[in-house]
Amino acid sequence: MSTHTSPRRSLILGFSLLLLITVAFGLHRAISSTENSTLAIAKIIDAPIDIPTPQAMGTQTIVLAGGCFWGTEAVFEQLKGVSSVVSGFSGGSAATAHYDTVSDGNTGHAEAIQITYDPQQISFGQLLKIYFFVAHDPTQVNRQSPDNGTQYRSTIFFANSEQQKVSQAYIDKLNQAQIFPQPIATQLVALTKFYPAEDYHQNFIDRNPNYPYVVIHDRPKIERLRQQFPNLVRG
């Protein structure tokens, strides 16, 4: 691990006074973020926003970035029709696709996940709904909750023109309906390459369910998913 400071590294390095302050601050932000997301969910249920998507054949992939990949990975792993979710990096070069380097915030990479799914079981539009309403806060610029930096930006790395078109239409509808209190900050960027992260980041929450960062910031997302979209969660 590098000595670059971030909330996750503070949690890793020990239970100091600074850690306790960071956790308390993070808990306050997590509660606030949850309240905002709950209000947005209520709006989307009252006035559903969705985009028809082509029924593609065979498995498809999409790369999404929305803050710490531990939590976004765990959310999408719960969904019916999703066969694989890999944590990694996108937006920069192969030479800098390493966690400690990306965490410096100067590589062009974003922490991202690569989702493999069956469009016959779950549509691209449904994946976008979970991305915007559960997995992260799409109105934050270069941050998510306590994590700051361009590596935590909200980005859809589209693999083709259809993904770009559907994503842009979805964002436009969300903004027009004023579902969120601020405009959507999510960027649409053509995917060039996705680089898997180190093994210890994969399935991190399954292996570390009581890790402080996970308890405060990630487990509430999974609970929210199960409560708000039970029809999309695998049995």
Active site residues: 68
Q: Give the span between the Cα atoms of 39 and 179, in whole angstroms.
A: 9
Q: How many Å apart are CA 9 and CA 1, to the nearest integer?
A: 8
> 110 - beta bridge partners?
90
Q: 122 near 83, Cβ under 8 Å?
A: no
**Beta-bridge partner residues of 184:** none
Based on its alpha-carbon atoms, the radius of gyration of the chain, rounded to whole angstroms, reads 17
Q: How far apart are CA 9 and CA 146, in angstroms?
A: 12
In the chain, at which residue ranges do the beta strands (DSSP E only) sit? Answer: 60-66, 82-90, 110-117, 143-144, 147-148, 154-158, 187-190, 194-196
Residue 45: which of 55, 37, 53, 54 has the closest Cα?
Answer: 37
CB-based contact 178:133 (threshold 8 Å): no
CA angle 83, 85, 87 (to 5 degrees): 165
